[in-house]
Structure 1
């Protein structure tokens, strides 16, 4: 239900051989290229591409069908490829008989011109003149196609001009006042009287009430929900899809509440006010590529909507690598298309093995250039709150890749206060303000993600007040000035350590070490603390994992 388009017109450019397939039967699992559409009982119109008027008729018929019945329809444009896979390719090597026939065929233009001449619609001179005019326009680099319908108004058209040339560090107010928090919390907790909740979910909602009152620190689920509620009530639609997104893979979100006695559910974020924007959360099918591709398209069509795709584990995003590489990271560079899609990728090494530990941070950083995407690793609920609001309140519309947390969701140290929501903003760099004397610091450890909490715990145990720990919460665009300011606040530091949980050949190290070296120059030595290089992201043995984790923490601190 979350992925309907009211029907799609699918056009198959059927050159009958694909690329260089010698045997057409090897190109698919069915006898014919459109057979796959039969499983959804979609109409399939086969048309000769050498007959332009028939193509126009079939196209109009297909569009009328789609608009009338809101169902998919397929056009099989039966044609051929006159050249090879490219103009320098020689197709007759693999398709000799086909290309003996093709080489003797006149072009589509010649066939149609002869038909019009025979019907006395035009003469040969007119046909030649039309061709020469067309070639001249091509040679001039001008637009060759006229508008299909002059003055056509597209009700779905969006003016993207306000979002061009925006800067990532544009300052916006992402705070929320206490009065609004109280109001939104009351609306979120105003549930139907006959709704029977699971005991664990009921306790979570009771804790959220205490968070609103300031009795206990706020957690990740509260901060994220409050961010969505704030956006919805100020006119920004929110769309969240992914596997287990309604509940949250790690039982933290509970955007959808399931009745334990009746077959129904209730979504509080859809009942904030009569004038709120639309909220949709969908537990998607197990196809990362299909869902992420749909969300990319949605986000490129509506800059006013916060569109989020969440992987069940960040590791699983590799099933959508084509969408990430070809569209999300490079769509603006190739086609000038802006997109504010948010990717939520649970990431962190907790001994769960190589398939459930790494969102492959290094792959996203490798794709970073020309401020094409944002890569952030928030370590507090408040940071997540401000990050989500910043994504919509700025005019900067670029994809946001967030390494979200797993074990941090229940780490008592990884919490925030209400004051962190009513003041402040997202901080790309969080300096260390807990030390008694900055002048006594000789080592600076810079890290991202949950390893920070392991580092501060070990530093406390070892009483190493000579070591500062700085969190890099935004890795790209690289916040050089902010990081330089944080480092300069420890004037006597002589060593900088980059600490990460990921193996040496993964994570952020290889992608950002040159930025640090440029920043530090010859004034400070720099080294790496983390796991050794590995073909797999993580080990599968919990005991080995814990030993590796302790070793890299000790290496950074001691």
Structure 2
């Protein structure tokens, strides 16, 4: 960009802002003179900055106002000298835009907020005559010139009343001007019709009435009341109505427990009688060993807007782990958009409701925000609502965050943050309108920080005055939000008291009827678990679903693999990739066995060809951590990417291979959420190393392994976790197999450690081809990826199905010792057996550790002489791996016939040694023990 030389005209704010924005984005995009100016100014050398521009730029500017120090009272401020009135006004305008939120009246409790000196009009030294002077200010978004006094009033109304806005951190000048036009042009106030005001009053009545009714009818029961923050209900109502105008057809909500029952009943559409039934706890037999508390449950319903448009609303189930539902909800939104081929992200919307203590406190917030504009995870902008109760359980803001606002972490995004007084419902209406317009226009996240309070304690049995006596004295003096808004409307004489009373009476009468219906013998629960998209899929016991034939015609396999070697004519592959491609061609012709990555590619390709969407995301998943996958190729000359799996046929289903950000919790949560709305697809998350999966343990514990038991929700998510002890140290050896086995119960998950390419191929296809949907945890190889012993021929992929247990071909009559194992250790045991010529030792592979096929296992063992010693051999320490799980399951004998003991590393606090030589010594001893006759069973 070629800017004109700095000149007196440069004091025009619009010009300066444009040059400054360019400089911030790329200093080299502006002329050297401007670079010097901004560099010196930003380093506190204002005089040097001006002098470096030379004699052609001697005027005072926004960035370098001549000033003098004055002291008044307890503050020292910089007062701009009189002279150029317009420049002083321009500087004042900018200061209000940047800092006006600091004195905005956003706190309904009226707690003091110090005024920054630059927001004191005394700073600018306006004389009385200057205050009455009219100025045409181009940068101020208003019609015609205003007097300085009117400009001050406009700025205060826009930025310092019930709404405070942070948006000047946004680099894009066009976005800032877009916001300024809509805020300054209206003084940040939405003109509401009587009908709109009545709607807000009605929704406030809905919120208040439900909370009061529950507290009165179910004394002492926990409901995590919304009282004090009731404006959330009209806020959501207005957001949904606006979404309907914008063409949104589905909204996915995520929120914690505070106010959840109110949202369920008054927004999502759950019948109050169901909520009351849950309070009464009249169906305990339905929840023995399962279920969840009422304020964690999800629900879905349909909303009809005033204009008659239908919007499907889904509130995600959520554990007490507050913000961890955020990426889950985001993933569900993306899946719905993808299923509808909504590539512009115009039909589905994500709406997240946060708490003020959790928003800055939980790291999953940052991980979720970071996904917002990434191509593999974007949903077209999320509407974030922080219900700011100004307290977290018993902890005050000064104890729970280092930032001024709970939302300061959101400044990492180029998005506006609206702080609004929750006791001013019409201000809430303005920010909802503006936020929804922003999200729709720019496809970016947007934030509403609604300041309110928590009228009761953390729960209804909690005493808040133990820890916040002063705060709660102030809260006790506040009228309910509905009453305050009603008084406002009565003063306007647009609504009468009788009208409002009638609305409240109707709400109370309805709730009484619903309470009566909740205890009726005719009451029927609404089961939403396996309807609609999930019709035809089942959970429950593994044995209820037959194993499908997952083989594919050999010629089709060859064709699918061959197609993946066809690159565009103008694509220049990396020299090493050319050899990789040629190897794939040989595999397709049957001249070379199918290795692990080719088997995976064939599983993906065949499923896509059959109409099943495939989505794989994870850190470096395009190439693969171990440089084995190469699903995404890059032109050696220009860096352009090409994904062969996306070019198999015109009618294939979508295949996405996505490099994720360096995040486990956020990305796994997202992909789990995606799987909830993609039952017909193969959705995979891959850890860079399996060891790193523990960074996402909350998602595993609270969602993946327990969702069916708690919420009757199924998922077919696949987790690929590289696992194996190879001397790479304690952080690159173990995917913590033992943790998944400890969490395994009621056939809730599948835990698999496949040992051949064919097994991996059939396992992936089985995950989609049978209608039984459970998360699949896979221990995947590292060093074995290129091992020829793991490779399979095309025939093995073409016929058969996944084998849960692979028997040993050794004649059973000669066997004196049975070794049981899973995964990589098998190949080391097999080599040791060959080297020792131990034909009396059988090695049986448990490919699927959970659910174990007990009937098949017993049948295989039954071929061996009764009393033959059986040993479980694992690389992991005694307290890790599968040993303790198997010992607890089988005891000291297998099926009361075979003495059973284990061979393993000694119990350890850390998974593995960091020394390669030490690892080799340990591994050698482990293998020797496996074949030692001295081992006592």
TM-score, L = length of structure 2? 0.55
CA distance in 1, matches of 2:749, 2:834: 36
Equivalent runs, 1:363-402 vs 2, <5 Å = 363-402=739-778
Q: Give the 3-state SS of the residue equivalent to 1:398 in structure 2.
A: coil
User: 1:134 Cα deviation (Å)?
Assistant: 2.1
Q: 2:846 aligns with which of 463, 472, 496?
A: 472
User: 1:95 Cα deviation (Å)?
Assistant: 1.4
1:122 corresponding residue in structure 2: 499
1:128-172 residue CA offsets vs partner (Å, 9 max, x unmatched) = 5633542552575499xxxxxxxxxxxxx9521211346535221
CA distance in 2, matches of 1:425, 1:342: 18
1:462 corresponding residue in structure 2: 836
1:302-357 residue CA offsets vs partner (Å, 9 max, x unmatched) = 11221111111101111111111111112222222211111110000000000100
Q: Give the 3-state SS of the residue equivalent to 2:738 in structure 1.
A: helix
Count of residues in Structure 1 that have an aligned counterpart in Structure 2: 542
Q: Give the 3-state SS of the residue equivalent to 2:473 in structure 1.
A: helix
1:28 corresponding residue in structure 2: 401
Contact 2:690-2:722 at 8 Å conserved across structures: yes
User: 1:109 Cα deviation (Å)?
Assistant: 5.3
Q: 2:784 aligns with which of 408, 414, 417?
A: 408
Quickly say closer, same or farther: Cα 1:185–1:129, change in 2 above 3 A: closer
Q: 1:530 aligns with which of 881, 904, 918?
A: 904
CA distance in 2, matches of 1:390, 1:56: 50
Contact 1:452-1:471 at 8 Å conserved across structures: yes
1:71-119 residue CA offsets vs partner (Å, 9 max, x unmatched) = 2121222221122223333222221111112233344455567778873
Query: Structure 1 residues 130-139 or 505-514, which shifts more?
Result: 130-139
Quickly say closer, same or farther: Cα 1:442–1:366, change in 2 above 3 A: same
Quickly say closer, same or farther: Cα 1:119–1:53, change in 2 above 3 A: farther
User: 1:361 Cα deviation (Å)?
Assistant: 0.7
1:298 corresponding residue in structure 2: 674
Equivalent runs, 1:442-457 vs 2, <5 Å = 442-457=816-831
Equivalent runs, 1:542-557 vs 2, <5 Å = 542-557=916-931
2:152 corresponding residue in structure 1: none
Query: Structure 1 residues 134-143 or 538-547, which shifts more?
Result: 134-143
Equivalent runs, 1:270-349 vs 2, <5 Å = 270-349=646-725
CA distance in 2, matches of 1:415, 1:72: 46
Q: Give the 3-state SS of the residue equivalent to 1:250 in structure 2.
A: coil
Q: Give the 3-state SS of the residue equivalent to 2:577 in structure 1.
A: helix
Q: Give the 3-state SS of the residue equivalent to 2:578 in structure 1.
A: helix
Query: Structure 1 residues 31-40 or 337-346, which shifts more?
Result: 31-40
1:227 corresponding residue in structure 2: 603
Equivalent runs, 1:416-495 vs 2, <5 Å = 416-433=792-809, 435=810, 437-495=811-869
1:86 corresponding residue in structure 2: 459
Q: Give the 3-state SS of the residue equivalent to 2:499 in structure 1.
A: coil
Contact 2:816-2:841 at 8 Å conserved across structures: yes
Query: Structure 1 residues 4-13 or 212-221, which shifts more?
Result: 212-221
CA distance in 1, matches of 2:562, 2:440: 43
Query: Structure 1 residues 448-457 or 51-60, which shifts more?
Result: 51-60
Contact 2:741-2:885 at 8 Å conserved across structures: yes
1:98 and 2:462 correspond: no
CA distance in 2, matches of 1:473, 1:109: 62
Q: Give the 3-state SS of the residue equivalent to 1:17 in structure 2.
A: coil
Q: Give the 3-state SS of the residue equivalent to 1:498 in structure 2.
A: strand
Q: Give the 3-state SS of the residue equivalent to 1:526 in structure 2.
A: strand
Equivalent runs, 1:195-206 vs 2, <5 Å = 195-206=571-582
Q: Give the 3-state SS of the residue equivalent to 1:159 in structure 2.
A: helix
CA distance in 2, matches of 1:276, 1:212: 20
CA distance in 2, matches of 1:172, 1:34: 50
Equivalent runs, 1:494-505 vs 2, <5 Å = 494-505=868-879
Quickly say closer, same or farther: Cα 1:113–1:365, change in 2 above 3 A: farther
Contact 2:892-2:901 at 8 Å conserved across structures: no
Quickly say closer, same or farther: Cα 1:123–1:20, change in 2 above 3 A: closer
User: 1:468 Cα deviation (Å)?
Assistant: 1.1
Contact 2:689-2:722 at 8 Å conserved across structures: yes
2:15 corresponding residue in structure 1: none
Q: Give the 3-state SS of the residue equivalent to 1:491 in structure 2.
A: coil
Quickly say closer, same or farther: Cα 1:448–1:119, change in 2 above 3 A: same
Query: Structure 1 residues 516-525 or 361-370, which shifts more?
Result: 516-525
Q: Give the 3-state SS of the residue equivalent to 1:202 in structure 2.
A: helix
CA distance in 2, matches of 1:67, 1:334: 35
CA distance in 1, matches of 2:819, 2:742: 23
The one of the two structures with greater contact order (alpha-carbon pairs below 8 A, sep at least 6) is 1
Unmatched segments (≥5 aa) in structure 1: 144-156
User: 1:53 Cα deviation (Å)?
Assistant: 6.3
State the Cα RMSD in Å: 2.4
Quickly say closer, same or farther: Cα 1:287–1:518, change in 2 above 3 A: same
Unmatched segments (≥5 aa) in structure 2: 1-374, 521-530, 933-937
Q: Give the 3-state SS of the residue equivalent to 2:761 in structure 1.
A: helix
User: 1:255 Cα deviation (Å)?
Assistant: 0.4
CA distance in 1, matches of 2:598, 2:446: 44
CA distance in 2, matches of 1:531, 1:33: 48
Contact 2:877-2:905 at 8 Å conserved across structures: yes
1:39 and 2:412 correspond: yes
1:4 and 2:381 correspond: no
Quickly say closer, same or farther: Cα 1:81–1:238, change in 2 above 3 A: same
1:353 and 2:729 correspond: yes
1:252-307 residue CA offsets vs partner (Å, 9 max, x unmatched) = 11101122222212110011111111111111111111111111111111112211
Quickly say closer, same or farther: Cα 1:138–1:358, change in 2 above 3 A: farther
CA distance in 1, matches of 2:754, 2:610: 24
Contact 1:480-1:519 at 8 Å conserved across structures: no
Q: Give the 3-state SS of the residue equivalent to 2:765 in structure 1.
A: helix
Q: Give the 3-state SS of the residue equivalent to 1:425 in structure 2.
A: coil
Contact 1:375-1:400 at 8 Å conserved across structures: yes
